[in-house]
Amino acid sequence: MKVFRRKIYDKLLDWKIKWAREYAILLEGARRVGKSTIVEEFAKNEYDSYLIIDFVNAKKDIISVFETYGHDMDKLLSTLQMVCNVRLKPGKSLIVFDEVQRYPEARELIKYLVKDGRFDYIETGSLITLKQNTRRIQIPSEEMHLRMYPMDFEEWCWACGFEDMFGIVREAYEKKEPLIDPIHRSVMEQFKTYMLTGECRRLSRSMQRRTTWLPWRR
């Protein structure tokens, strides 16, 4: 599967270099903006090994590990590796809590996991600030928050192979010079496509939500 280039990757890399020893990073954002995809790509590229726990689809075995060994970091980490069949290397591996709002107790453990210091930690979440997703836990201070948004126009140009075109736009903007007409028309055509693509996806999600409760969809 092709993974599109995203600007947030560089921010994750900056966190890894400067802050990962002291903080986990919590990647927030709406559903379907690519949080899980970019985090997994980051884990593959920047670490020797990694473990991803998706709390949307987490099996009872995984949850029971947290419930049983949440007070013992040694047993928690060793059991997770065994259950997930992943070998982690101290200082060279990443653990990801994906959609952590589904199991807030795991987020509360970040304080102790970061202090343990063996691995780096990334959390992803949607609607992470809702009271119902935080009322049972003490929010760890060992978190850095990073917000992810849908693709901007530059990222869309990268994905569609128009990187050179956007480079011309950026250069003209920095020099405060107008684009010549043929380039301007081409850029505006691509921008309209970008806007239409995003709007169609938004409307599609909206219509899906609205039709969920129609009688014939029972």
Q: Map residue 204 onto helix, strand or coil.
A: helix
Question: What's the CATH number of domain 8-147, 3.40.640.10, 3.40.50.300, 1.20.1530.20, 3.30.1180.20?
Answer: 3.40.50.300
The reported pLDDT for the residue numbered 32 is 85
Q: Map residue 207 onto helix, strand or coil.
A: helix
* Confidence tier at 145 by pLDDT (50, 70, 90): very high
The reported pLDDT for the residue numbered 52 is 97
At 166-212, the pLDDT tens digits run 889 999 999 999 999 999 999 999 999 988 876 555 544 544 444 33
Structure tokens given for 183: 């380039």
Does pLDDT of 165 surpass 80?
yes
Element (H, E) at 94: strand 93-98
Strand partners for 143: 24
* Confidence tier at 148 by pLDDT (50, 70, 90): very high
Residue 28 CB coordination number (10 Å): 18
First and final C-alpha spacing in the chain: 34
What is the rounded CA–CA span in Å between residue 39 and residue 144? 15
Q: By the 8 A CB rule, do 46 and 14 touch?
A: no
Structure tokens given for 69: 């060994």
Measured on CA atoms in the order 143, 47, 83, 102, is the torsion positive or negative?
positive
Q: Look over the chain and give the mean of its residue pLDDT values, rounded to a whole number.
A: 87
The reported pLDDT for the residue numbered 130 is 60
Domain map (residue ranges) of the chain? 8-147, 153-217
